Amino acid sequence: MDSTRFSRVARPGEAALSLLVFCLIACFLLFVTIPVASLFLRITPEAFLSSLQQPAVVDALRLSLVTASVSTAVVVLLGTPLSYVNARVRYRGREIVDTLTDLPIVLPPAVAGIALLMAFGRRGVVGEFLDGLGITVAFTTLAVILAQIFVASPFYIRQARASFEAVDQLYEDAARTLGASRLAVLLRVSIPIARSGLVSGAILSFARALGEFGATIMFAGNFQGRTQTMPLAIYTTMQGDLNDAISIAIVLVVISFAVILAVKYTTRRTA
Amino acid sequence: MRSHDKVTLLVPLLLIAVMLAVAGCTGTTQPTGGQTTLTVFTAASLTGAFSGIGETYMAENPDVVVDCVFDGSQALRTQIEQGASPDIFVSANVKHMGALQGGGFMENDTVTVFLENSLAVIVPAENPANVTSLADLARPGVRLVIGTKDVPFGSYTRQVLDTMAADPAYGAAYRDAVMENVISEETAITTVMPKLTLGEADAAFVYKSDVRPEDRSLVRRIEVPAEYNVVAEYPLGILASSEQKAEAAAFIAFVRGPTGNAILESYGFDPVQ
């Protein structure tokens, strides 16, 4: 079977090269896995379970899950029409809209935090007006959600646009000629076909919202149960009980793995 | 010829591998020339004062570089416990210093309390919530910023409020109403001031030394009477792992000498002899 691959024997340098490439790959994989594994090695199961019952940890878990769910729902609600229009309609300024929606991906979270504060803070451009109406945004749970929407929206919108572009326009045209309205085509044809892409985009967006730290601590502050999400709780509890910080980190590692698996599963099913 | 190409490809790859291995062994770079770099882990509340002291010291001692790292005492302690090795640690309370002493991280006979501090309430100069007394802090809608329970200025704040709660003139309801007004718990004193000057917060519990000379036009200070206040003791000392103990001791002597004390006093600290 191997008779045609005589080159293997002829080139002694190749074995060394393979070995070297193997070593480089192994080095990198160890570099990535050792820190994550270290989290699990630095804490006993008993300490982990007792940390999970600490009020600060419970509050952070609940707040994170609630805010990330709400912000993902808002991103899907606002981002689906936008990404569909940008996938299907050619209009002047489409490039500008695309650039603006991508901006939060490259913007450092600290910039997002101070920008949101300048806009929605009590003396901010919009916040001053809202304050007059008795609405406070900064340093509330609402601020946590706004920060998450800001940083996480591009993950959904990019994926959604690509998924809508991949829908064969023939199906949509066929539905139209059969008398379906534009809205019915979107809801009954385009979205069902693009579904797996939309779902994986929403999952990625949820994961980014869950991990948001910089913009949140600057714009929403740090208050247990109200604005202290899991990443902020890691930062805060690390100054008190390191076990609590490690336990929250482990929960986030597990969620991250679940996210990767979920995205792989949803995208593989249609591929 | 093909195998020659492979060899020429191998050489840079091997070089990269060697460089990676070497980089893994030597983590730190030695200072160049005859200069000594003193790394001083300093409680965030000393940011202004120790920047000034460091600059003055370097001006007088050109062969020494004083590198101050400012953060909450708790964060600095965690960093030292996790392997950071400064020459000097300056803590905003004795608890964190005591923990490091107990863990064998400090050169114990060098650790002394060198200054005292206490708390005050600050409000923005324009005072949007019209806070003029400690009693006003309990008024609904006042946006208050304090420290987390684990950082010294946060735990002192809780002590002050507990002392006030024990006094019938204020009572437990006062403490609860004040805590209800807290919008954010900060992990270091340095993030409190921007929230006041931006107008996001109406008042904050800070050290009386936290109003830097350049901030005096931006904020107003409300004193906390001595019967409710705490005396925060700041210890400093040399790390057991320091390789420049003589130079570190010389810098500490300067901090505790007339020049250092004058700078500390200008920031509102009370140096202890």
Based on the fold, state whether residues A232 and A129 are members of the same structural domain: yes
Contact B17 A223 (CB under 8 A): no
Based on the fold, state whether residues A34 and A62 are members of the same structural domain: no
Whether A132 has its CB under 8 Å from any CB of chain B: the answer is no
Contact A236 B187 (CB under 8 A): yes
pLDDT of res. B4: 52
Torsion angles phi and psi, residue A55, rounded to 5: -55, -40
Q: Mean per-residue pLDDT for B230-248?
A: 94
Ramachandran assignment for A90, one of left (phi > 0), alpha (psi -120 to 50 degrees), beta (any other): beta
With respect to residue A190, please indicate whether it lies within any of the assigned structural domains: yes
Identical fold, B36-116+232-271 and B119-223: yes
pTM assigned to the model: 0.77
Nearest residue of B to residue A11 by CA position? B3
Contact B74 A139 (CB under 8 A): no
With respect to residue A44, please indicate whether it lies within any of the assigned structural domains: no
This complex has an ipTM of 0.73
Which residues have CB under 8 Å from A138's CB, separation 6+? A116, A117, A120, A121, A122, A124, A127, A219, A220, A221, B200
Based on the fold, state whether residues A68 and A10 are members of the same structural domain: no
Question: Which of A23, A139, A242 has the CB atom closest to B200's CB atom?
Answer: A139
Residue numbers in A near B185 (CB within 8 A): 221-224, 228, 236
Residue from B13, B15, B200, B202 to probe the interface with A (highest A Cβ count within 10 Å): B200
Q: Is the pLDDT of residue B213 over 50?
A: yes
CATH class, range B119-223: alpha beta
d(CA B127, CA A53): 41
Based on the fold, state whether residues A249 and A146 are members of the same structural domain: yes
Residue A128's domain comprises 54-270
pLDDT profile of chain A (271 residues), mean per 10? 51 86 96 94 93 93 96 97 93 93 93 94 90 90 97 96 94 91 91 94 95 94 93 88 92 92 80 48
Q: Mean per-residue pLDDT for B118-139?
A: 93
Residue numbers in B near A242 (CB within 8 A): 78
Which of B119, B77, B69 is CA-nearest to residue B235?
B77
pLDDT of res. B82: 86
Based on the fold, state whether residues A103 and A136 are members of the same structural domain: yes
Based on the fold, state whether residues A96 and A20 are members of the same structural domain: no
The pair of three-digit structure tokens given for residue B141, joined into one six-digit string: 């809608």
Q: Mean per-residue pLDDT for B206-235?
A: 87
pLDDT of res. B9: 53
Mean pLDDT estimate for chain B: 86
Nearest residue of A to residue B183 by CA position? A139
Q: Is the pLDDT of residue B27 over 80?
A: no
Based on the fold, state whether residues A30 and A93 are members of the same structural domain: no
Percent of chain B with pLDDT over 90: 62
pLDDT band at B8 (very low <50, low <70, confident <90, very high): low
pLDDT digits (tens, 9 = 90+) for B99-108: 999 999 999 9
B187 vs A250, more confident: A250
Based on the fold, state whether residues A117 and A23 are members of the same structural domain: no
pLDDT of res. B13: 52
Say if residues B206 and B120 touch (Cβ distance below 8 Å). yes
What is the layout of strands, in order, in the sheet containing B144-147? B182-186, B144-147, B203-207, B119-124, B219-223
pLDDT of res. A10: 54
B138 vs B74, more confident: B138
pLDDT of res. B22: 44
92-151 of B, contacting A, C-beta below 8 A: 143, 145, 148-151
Whether A13 has its CB under 8 Å from any CB of chain B: the answer is yes
Contact B10 A27 (CB under 8 A): no
Q: Is the pLDDT of residue B246 over 60?
A: yes
Of B6-15, B113-122, B262-271, minimum mean pLDDT range: B6-15
Question: Which of A13, A122, A236 has the CB atom closest to B199's CB atom?
Answer: A122
pLDDT of res. B210: 81
Residue from B180, B187, B192 to probe the interface with A (highest A Cβ count within 10 Å): B187
With respect to residue A235, please indicate whether it lies within any of the assigned structural domains: yes
Q: How far is CA A65 from the centre of its chain?
A: 13
Q: Mean per-residue pLDDT for B101-120?
A: 93
pLDDT of res. B273: 77
Q: Is the pLDDT of residue B30 over 50?
A: no
What are the helix (H) ranges across chain A?
7-10, 12-41, 45-51, 55-88, 94-106, 109-120, 127-132, 141-165, 169-177, 182-185, 191-211, 214-219, 230-237, 242-270
Domain ranges of chain B: 36-116+232-271, 119-223
Q: Is the pLDDT of residue B14 over 80?
A: no
Based on the fold, state whether residues A211 and A115 are members of the same structural domain: yes
Query: What's the domain count of chain A?
Result: 2
B36-116+232-271 belongs to which homologous superfamily? Periplasmic binding protein-like II (3.40.190.10)
25-64 of A, contacting B, C-beta below 8 A: 27
> What one-letter code names the amino acid at B268?
G
Residue numbers in B near A110 (CB within 8 A): none
Whether B182 has its CB under 8 Å from any CB of chain A: the answer is yes
